[in-house]
Amino acid sequence: MIASKVKFAASLYALMSISFWGISFVSTKAVLDKLDLYTLLVLRFGIGALFLLVLLALKRYPLRIPLKYIPHLIVLGILGVFVHQVIQATALLTINASAAGWIISFSPVFTVILSVFFLHEKMTVLKASGMIVAIIGVLLVTTSNNQQSFQLPINVGYLLMILSTLNWAIYSVLLKRLHIQLPSLVITFYMCLIGFILTTPFLIRNRGWEKMPFLTSVEWAHLLFLGVFVSGVAYWYWAKALEVLEASQVSVYLYLEPVATLVTAILLLQEKIIPVSILGGIIIIMGVILVNGRLLAFLKSLPWRNKNL
């Protein structure tokens, strides 16, 4: 019973991370009219690092870490924060965010493959079926929301986004494989700090500070959300989920990111509700349930469940 509660909590952490990341597209769009994308990244990780530092102080976690973990944290910070965000930022210069959204959802495919080879996780028929089902759902959500057919034109931006999905898969597997014996909050703080340090040259290059005085209170609110919840809490919760669940199980929650983006766009941007998008969201959720091996438990929880299940 305790193990089930721990796994359920880990699933909630992963779900909350994906929800924050999905909402981030709307907040980013609200700020990009005033700031260039690279300056936005610097502010995101700067705010995130400061927020995590306050949490560490409140929880009285020591900032001193064993020397043997420093190389691990540097590698994770470079891959998960610096490289990942810079690749995506560069890709978004040539492709739109909605097109990038469905490409990101292919990250679990890479994660499952890497997990089989490096984490010795088993590839089951159920996992493979769940991946296929979730991919179908992602295509329904994204293509119906964009009112476009599913296409992949040859474009450097698309190639960069595919590379970013592979990079995120490597990061997730490494985070699981390295077994860093530190609180996930401490790990996330140092990764966020490394990301802030490495992205600062972009702020200097673009003289981003010159545009900050022109930001409105609403735009600063979006920045605070991006820094605290997207760059801080989401990375922290993702690490907490990986402490309990297999990397392939956690990564599959990325399929839900387009759903979070769609719901937020409907609520905040008054986009139309498209029935096909709702169907796609349901299919995505079913795919996640399949990959996590929770189909039977899910069916039993339904109010019209068959008592013989």
Of 19 and 108, more confident: 19
CA 246 to chain centre: 16
pTM of the model: 0.72
pLDDT at 231: 85
Q: What 3-state class would DSSP assign to 52?
A: helix
Of 160 and 287, more confident: 160
Res 150 pLDDT > 50: no
Give the CA count within 13 Å in the CB-facing half-sphere of 214.
Answer: 9
Kindly indicate the confidence band of residue 304, based on its pLDDT and cuts at 50, 70 and 90.
very low
Query: How far is Cα 14 from Cα 235, in angstroms, rounded to an integer?
Result: 9
Segment 182-239, tens digit of pLDDT: 888 888 899 889 989 988 988 888 888 888 888 888 889 989 999 999 888 988 888 8
Segment 232-283, tens digit of pLDDT: 898 888 888 888 887 667 766 776 777 777 677 677 766 666 676 667 667 7
Query: How many residues comprise the chain?
Result: 309
Sign of the dihedral through C-alpha 288, 189, 261, 171: negative
Residue 243's region, left for phi above 0, alpha for psi from -120 to 50, else beta, is alpha
Nearest CA among 104, 118, 79 for reference residue 160? 104
pLDDT at 96: 61
Res 89 pLDDT > 50: yes
Kindly indicate the confidence band of residue 74, based on its pLDDT and cuts at 50, 70 and 90.
very high
Residues 6+ apart with CB under 8 A from 139: 102, 150, 280
Segment 24-54, tens digit of pLDDT: 777 877 787 788 878 888 998 999 999 999 9
Segment 155-167, tens digit of pLDDT: 677 778 778 888 8
Question: What CA–CA distances, in Å, run from 64 to 74, 104, 184, 249?
Answer: 15, 35, 14, 32
